[in-house]
Structure 1
Amino acid sequence: MVAMKGIAGAPVSFGVFELTADQPLPDPEEILGPLQDLGYDGVDLGPVGWLGRGDALRRRLREHELVLVGGWVDLPFTDDEAFGRALPELDDALEIFVAAAELDPSRPPLPTLADRGSELRRANPGGAAPGLALDDAGWERLARNVETAAARVRAAGLEPTFHHHACTYVETPAEIDEFLARTDVGLTFDTGHLLIGGGDPVEGWRRWGSRINHLHLKDARTAVLDQVLSEKGGMRDVWERRAFVELGAGDLDVDGFMDAVFQSAFDGWLVVEQDVVPSPSDPPGRVIDDQRANREALRRWLP
């Protein structure tokens, strides 16, 4: 049966992630405080450096009784030259993860690797259009560079995980199969991005369960994706039109999926996510209300 490390929240649920990192971001306390109040045990990193570094990071997490559970590090795995230039970004993030691991060595964060994708993939969310997939040489490059990044993470004393993600070269169920066949890295299973990529989260959990070491739980409305595709829109449109919604408001079978998780041997973190691009028209307090609803939706399994 499941031996979960805990339940975590994420800055992306408050509109703080790479897509909004070029805008003024809220102070971390504005997010850590509500997560603590709502009963979360941990938090995802958000943009590298936003939560602080070293002693400042550890003090901030300790004050809010939260553990750092992981964090997004996307790299251009299909381009050897660009990948080599980007490795210092991974090293920079690893310093933060190592510092945070000192707070709770029994539950160290998992650096969450992901492919950076391409303009072509970002213009075609869902991964279903012809001509988007890697050829064999592309898969060989991706797998080789993932191996290099994973070795760097392990040399730092941590274990990597890899996030299948919309508009990257590991998006669809077939691409996840290919990735797992070519690497030994654990999988960050993201229910919302699997829905966007044309998969079934309950079936996927059973199919890849032995390789899953991190869980991002999010709900999504695939009708939004369909509308964006019909209008020739890209991934940013998917985010801005709120394809990702509070648990139970989209196409995820929350009950069926959570039952499958709790019938499994999963022993990682469950990270609740709801990717949000804030809008000036949002009602005051909307993000807090959504995260309260997300936490309440899980009380049956995680009281």
Structure 2
Amino acid sequence: MKIGYQTNTWGGVVGHPAGVTSVKDLYYLANGSTEQAVKEIAAAGYQGIEIFDGNLMQYDNRPDAFKQLLNDNGQVLIGVYCGANFIYQDIFKDELHKIDKVAKLAAELGAVHLVLGGGAIRSGGILETDYQSLAGGLEHASDIAAKYGLIPCYHPHLGTIVQTPEQLDKLMTMTDIALCPDTAHIEAGGGDPVEVIKKYADRIRYVHFKDYRYGAFLPLGEGGQPFAEMLAVLKENGYDGWITVELDSYGNPAEGAAISMRYLQEKLKVAV
């Protein structure tokens, strides 16, 4: 297996301010330095990076600078994290426009995966038809990914209509999209990440590892997630793709990345 790291720890999980008034510019964005993130991820021993769509689009007019940054640090672009509401028909075309722009640039820069989050929760609560809208939106996004040779994966997330195990099961019956389990978000939503990996092993094309305890996301080994068991299940089912470590925020991002790498190497015996 290959081990990567998300750059969002450098700056934390925020969003592009232009998205408040322009849906086509509604990107995820970490406010830190991508250049610093890539250098410190490489120094910690990881092989590749995942990046938010907003941070990737900062290189839209200078792709060669991004390629040079990766080459200088011995990294590859694993994938880009993108998202949308997917349930509001009036803005759906603009959301797909954004996803298309992101997927095109990601493919040009060598990415493998298009990671998709989303499924907004309405102020008045979830409608059953929202799941159908989300599933349909993900099918359209999957077609975009296929157009550019990317592998689309859905990422369950707190704050969406796919938080709980029951909600995930409902969505997975409505779409053929691959799954990118985020182990901490699954647990935070009331699920068992080991059981989710077992259940959907044939649809997992990409994995996010993140530790979790008492409502907090943590570096690997500092929470209670059974990563050894997860790895065993993945290996039993022939998974040999990327595992990306993600940590939404940490006081010292480089230290957080190093803590997780030590855990992977010393406790899980993962060769990097």
TM-score normalised by the chain length of structure 2 = 0.86
State the match for 1:287 in structure 2.
Answer: 253
Q: Is the CA contact (8 Å cut-off) linking 2:217 and 2:248 kept in structure 1?
A: yes
CA RMSD of aligned residues (A): 2.1
State the match for 1:145 in structure 2.
Answer: 137
- 1:252 offset after TM fit, Å? 0.9
Higher relative contact order (CA 8 A, sep 6+): 1
SS at match of 1:195: helix
Structure 1 segments, 4+ long, off by >4 Å, are 20-24
Q: Is the CA contact (8 Å cut-off) linking 1:213 and 1:267 kept in structure 2?
A: no
State the match for 1:125 in structure 2.
Answer: none
Size of the alignment, in residue pairs?
Answer: 255
Aligned counterparts of 2:240 and 2:90: Cα–Cα separation in 1: 36
Matched, 1:173 2:165: yes
Q: Is the CA contact (8 Å cut-off) linking 2:11 and 2:30 kept in structure 1?
A: no
SS at match of 1:45: strand
Q: Is the CA contact (8 Å cut-off) linking 2:212 and 2:224 kept in structure 1?
A: yes
| Cα separation, partners in 2 of 1:133 and 1:210, compared to 1, 3 Å | farther
Q: Is the CA contact (8 Å cut-off) linking 1:75 and 1:116 kept in structure 2?
A: yes
Aligned counterparts of 2:271 and 2:122: Cα–Cα separation in 1: 39
State the match for 2:93 in structure 1.
Answer: 84
TM-score normalised by the chain length of structure 1 = 0.78
Aligned counterparts of 2:15 and 2:141: Cα–Cα separation in 1: 25
Q: Is the CA contact (8 Å cut-off) linking 2:84 and 2:117 kept in structure 1?
A: yes
Aligned counterparts of 1:261 and 1:21: Cα–Cα separation in 2: 35
State the match for 1:185 in structure 2.
Answer: 177
- 1:209 offset after TM fit, Å? 0.8
Q: Please tell me the residue identity of whatever aligns with 1:110.
A: H
**Please, which runs of 5 or more residues in structure 2 have no aligned partner?**
18-28
SS at match of 1:111: strand
Aligned counterparts of 1:214 and 1:118: Cα–Cα separation in 2: 25
- 1:119 offset after TM fit, Å? 5.8
Q: Is the CA contact (8 Å cut-off) linking 2:4 and 2:78 kept in structure 1?
A: yes
Q: Please tell me the residue identity of whatever aligns with 1:301.
A: V
State the match for 2:270 in structure 1.
Answer: 301
| Cα separation, partners in 2 of 1:24 and 1:85, compared to 1, 3 Å | closer
SS at match of 1:250: coil
Q: Please tell me the residue identity of whatever aligns with 1:11.
A: T
* Mapping of residues 127-146 of structure 1, within 5 Å: 132-135=125-128, 137-146=129-138
State the match for 1:60 in structure 2.
Answer: 69
- 1:132 offset after TM fit, Å? 4.8
Aligned with 1:270 (options 232, 243, 248): 243
State the match for 1:13 in structure 2.
Answer: 9
Q: Is the CA contact (8 Å cut-off) linking 1:244 and 1:274 kept in structure 2?
A: yes
Aligned with 1:43 (options 43, 49, 53): 49
- 1:266 offset after TM fit, Å? 1.2
**Please, which runs of 5 or more residues in structure 1 have no aligned partner?**
102-107, 121-130, 225-242
Aligned counterparts of 1:16 and 1:275: Cα–Cα separation in 2: 6
Aligned counterparts of 1:154 and 1:211: Cα–Cα separation in 2: 16
Aligned counterparts of 2:70 and 2:39: Cα–Cα separation in 1: 10
| Cα separation, partners in 2 of 1:248 and 1:144, compared to 1, 3 Å | same
